[in-house]
Structure 1
Amino acid sequence: MALVALAFAALSTVGDLLSTNLRWTAALGGIGLLILRAALPERADLDAVERIFGDRSAFDLDPLTDRLKDAQEVWIYAPSAVNLLSPERCEVLRHRVLGGAAGRARIVVLDPTQEVAVAEVSRQLDDSLDYPLQEFGPSLASVVQQLRRMASWQVAGKLEYGFLSYNPGFSLVAVDPKSHKGVVIVEMHAFHNTSTASRMHLRLTRAETEKWYFYWLSQFERIWDSARKPDDK
């Protein structure tokens, strides 16, 4: 349409080679194209949405384990964190994140002493799945023992952990939260899911969604402040 409009404009400069009807046809065609273009969503906006929203498979192109390899600070909240604290990721935490004096890791899971909360989370996370693979209670107990072992690591960095008295309905991982290149990943537990991998995820960066990036960071900070620490009486 642009080429047609340019050709008609060029012909119009050399006399009456074009009829009035043809000129109006080109003009209306160009206007119609502009209206159509204005009504279409921007591809850039669609790309941004696809980068932010997804399930666990949406982050295969940017694996969390790879991102941890260059991180200095990591924040984690999850009811049991059994999937997040896999052997591979724990090795990365030990060697890469906590390998330097500036390395920091804060991890919060559900408080195993809160029996009512543990029962409710078991109902929410286990009983509401079509295809469950793990049981929450044993997973939490295993991770609590794992965190105690991790806290005894002889590393240059600092690892801290705590226990929250109830589940707020999401899991959260922040990698280098105070850095301009930081990322926050939030997993919504929802009411029912086919599997844990099908849960909705948000992947937020400071550059793309600054408001909500800092919102979720503040959520973790409130969780950390509220969490019972191992040395608390």
Structure 2
Amino acid sequence: MGWLRRITGDLKARQNIDAYALTAAIFFFALLSIFSDELGANLRWAALLSGVGLLIYRTLSEETSALSPGILHDRSIYDAVPMSSLLANVRDVRVFAPSAVNLLSAQTCEILRNSVLARKDGSVRIVILDFREEAAVRQASKQLDESLEFPVQRLRAALDSTMERLRLMSRWKTTGTFDYRLLSYSPGFSLVLLDPESPKGRVIVEIHGFHNPSTSSRMHLELTRGRDERWYRYWVEQFDHIWEAAVDAGPASGRAAESASADVVEARD
């Protein structure tokens, strides 16, 4: 019954509606022709039309399989379709990651500012690991830094960099809304939600695992609302719980405080 679930998922997501409608119409007229007076000729037409309908369905099935990125992959898929391009046409972006340093590149932040945050109903919410929770940062570093065969950055430095970027972004004058919070520990995964309440929403889950050759080799789950309704909703609710448990950044401390002080001095000058 996998084909039925796929069709149901496409209909929920409002995809391929025209092809399904055409296929249904062909089969409908083929059935009608069977019960008409001229049975012999119409049986042949019924067979022909049924074949055309089946051909359309099979063609749709093959094209969908060829174009779909599937559910399971790693970060290499974003070489062909960069994450920044996925953000360009959405209105609601929600992110949880221990540091989000790779996602929040200068280019991605510019795209967020010129697309999501340029819209009246645009919203960006980001949660990262609380840099003030020393024990949690050390524990996360064991998993994210020490378990990699080929590390290229360290979590502590990444947190400092992201905190500075988030503070700068929070000062932007934008039409949309931007907010960020801090979580007291890392649950072992990262989340990117793109328009999660819309029919064409997308949820990307990165599982950190225990040992990886590199950051880019971690397993990703890419879920859509129509195809993966149960687990799609599950991960959307996971972000909701994370957002509720996370706290505001509050007073800066450590190197982050030094950065904030430097900003104040620069503003006075």
| Alpha-carbon shift at residue 226 of structure 1 (Å) | 0.2
CA distance in 1 between counterparts of 2:99 and 2:195 reads 22
2:116 counterpart letter in structure 1: V
TM-score by length of 1: 0.77
| Alpha-carbon shift at residue 46 of structure 1 (Å) | 7.3
Determine if the alignment matches structure 1 residue 195 to structure 2 residue 223.
no
Determine if the alignment matches structure 1 residue 221 to structure 2 residue 240.
yes
Name the SS for the 1:98 alignment partner: helix
Determine if the alignment matches structure 1 residue 172 to structure 2 residue 191.
yes
CA RMSD of aligned residues (A): 2.0
| Alpha-carbon shift at residue 131 of structure 1 (Å) | 0.3
CA distance in 1 between counterparts of 2:199 and 2:81 reads 17
CA distance in 1 between counterparts of 2:149 and 2:250 reads 39
- In the TM superposition, what are the counterparts of 1:1-233 in structure 2 within 5 Å? 51-231=70-250
CA distance in 2 between counterparts of 1:120 and 1:48 reads 40
Q: Report what 2:49 is aligned to.
A: none
2:130 counterpart letter in structure 1: D
Name the SS for the 2:118 alignment partner: coil
| Alpha-carbon shift at residue 208 of structure 1 (Å) | 1.0
Q: Report what 2:14 is aligned to.
A: none
Superposed CA offset, 1:99-142 (max 9, x none)? 01111000000001100000011111000000000011011011
CA distance in 2 between counterparts of 1:161 and 1:54 reads 28
Please say which structure displays the higher CA radius of gyration.
1
CA distance in 2 between counterparts of 1:175 and 1:46 reads 22
Name the SS for the 1:60 alignment partner: helix
| Alpha-carbon shift at residue 45 of structure 1 (Å) | 10
| Residues 213, 48 of structure 1: alpha-carbon distance in 2 compared, 3 angstrom cutoff | farther
Name the SS for the 2:190 alignment partner: strand
User: Greater helix percent: which structure?
Assistant: 2
| Alpha-carbon shift at residue 158 of structure 1 (Å) | 0.4
Segments of structure 1 that go 5 or more residues without pairing to the other structure are 1-41
Identity %, equivalent residues: 47
